[in-house]
Amino acid sequence: MTLRIAQLANFVGPTSGGMRTAIEHLGQGYREAGAERILITPGERDSVTHTEVGTIVRMKAPKVGGGYRLITDPWRVIEALERFRPTTVEISDKSTLLPVARWARRNGIGSVLFSHERLDAMLSLRTGRQLGVAAGVGALYKLLSRTYDAVVVTSRYAAAEFDEVTTPLVRIPLGVDLDTFHPSLGAPVDDGVLKLVHAGRLSREKSPHLAVATAVELHRRGVPLRMDVYGSGPHLDELVAIAGDAPIYFRGYIGDRTELARHLTQADIALSVCPGETFGLAVLEALSAGTPVVTADTGGARELVDQYCGRWAAPNPVDLADAVLALANVPDRRAAARRRAEQYDWTTCIDRMLALHARLTASAGRSVA
């Protein structure tokens, strides 16, 4: 039997870069390996599109803030799946689509939860509060552990919110497009100005405020610099206010990946400082482009850099500014950044995910040709 993989992505926005990129690369890899594939996501209106990388189903869903949309009726998803008849479902959602996972179990269909974010960290970053978050999240995770056949995490940090004794955890790091993000696209001009870059959604859970404040701290110290910020989101006005008169330029969202890669290569250092990232595709894209990275000392992004291509520090502007200055003096850091990124290719990630889908299909009593 051919693998028939259903990918379900909920809480999707116009610039949900990391999750969208991962789902697209995995889906393309599944199709190239001969699997059938359907992708179900929320959208402005109902639509079904048949493409070379599978069937794309968008279900009309309400906006829930920040431009994000959320499927609130899981029964419509189940109806679509009953028509597709998947061998496995891969779900990027920890709450609303739980009934879909239960449906899969009742029908002998393997289920995979792809854990793209830590709920405890995300909620704390969005609300600015930690008190009371852990208890509610812990209860949900016990439920998830009993519902899914496998939970995929991308880093040790992402795994830490689960009970590894009772949860069927599988750690599979994501990959990076090593061809698109390549050092050959450019290099920073050596004019005595430290060129910083930040790429990501301008919403609180991604910590752009901290990246901008770090550049402001360096400017306050008299460091000649320029920072370019690529991305859009609900907190642009706040970031502009934080930047003040520092040479920080907000360039907006860039959908062309090659163009974004070119801008990354032209920076001396990328700031990707969110302390709650479960992986950090933005970090890998910068490294792949040959740009070393400063990140927070917690989170999955910290696991992607080493002493030759990055620095890490406590998530506050003073310590991160120190880390930037230290990294600026590391020799051969651009070549080291590229070598580090080359350890994370999409082929390896896709092969491991396909092996997981095949195993779950077989354990459900089906065979894969």
CATH number of residue 156's parent domain: 3.40.50.2000
Calpha distance 221→7 (Å, rounded): 48
Q: Which residues pair with 225 in a beta bridge?
A: 194
Residue 290 lies in a domain: yes
Quote the tokens at residue 166: 């009772």
Q: Is the pTM of this model over 0.85?
A: yes
Q: By the 8 A CB rule, do 196 and 267 touch?
A: yes
Whether residue 166 sits in one domain with residue 17: yes
Using the structure block, give the residue that is written with the tokens 């008190």: 131
Distance CA 182, CA 286 (A): 9
> Are 163 and 273 part of one and the same domain?
no
Q: Which domain range does residue 143 map to?
A: 4-175+345-363
Question: What is the per-residue pLDDT for 20?
Answer: 86
296 and 219 fall within a common domain = yes
pLDDT of the residue at 119? 66
Is 368 inside any structural domain? Answer: no
The SS3 assignment for 184 reads helix
Per-residue pLDDT of the chain (369 residues; tens, 9 = 90+): 799 999 999 866 554 567 888 999 999 999 999 999 999 999 999 999 999 999 999 999 998 766 678 898 999 999 999 999 999 999 988 878 999 999 999 999 999 999 877 766 555 555 555 544 455 566 666 777 778 999 999 999 988 888 766 778 999 999 999 999 999 999 999 999 999 999 999 998 889 999 999 999 999 999 999 999 999 999 999 999 999 999 999 999 999 999 999 999 999 999 999 998 889 999 999 999 999 999 999 999 999 999 999 999 999 999 999 999 999 999 999 999 999 999 999 999 999 999 999 999 998 765 444
Report the 10 Å Cβ neighbour count for 178: 18
The string of DSSP letters for 323-366 reads HHHHHTT-TTHHHHHHHHHTT-BHHHHHHHHHHHHHHHHHHTT-
C-alpha closest to that of 284 among 305, 308, 254, 259:
305
Over residues 53-112, the pLDDT tens digits come to 999 999 999 987 666 788 989 999 999 999 999 999 999 888 789 999 999 999 999 999
The verdict on 231 and 298 lying in the same domain is: yes
293 and 198 belong to one structural domain? yes
Q: Is 121 inside a domain boundary?
A: yes
Tell me if 307 is assigned to some domain.
Answer: yes
Please give the distance of CA 155 from its chain centroid, rounded to a whole number. Answer: 11
Are 310 and 326 in contact by the 8 Å Cβ rule? The answer is no
Assess if residue 369 is contained within a domain. no
**Dihedral over alpha carbons 165, 133, 318, 66 (to 10 degrees):** 110
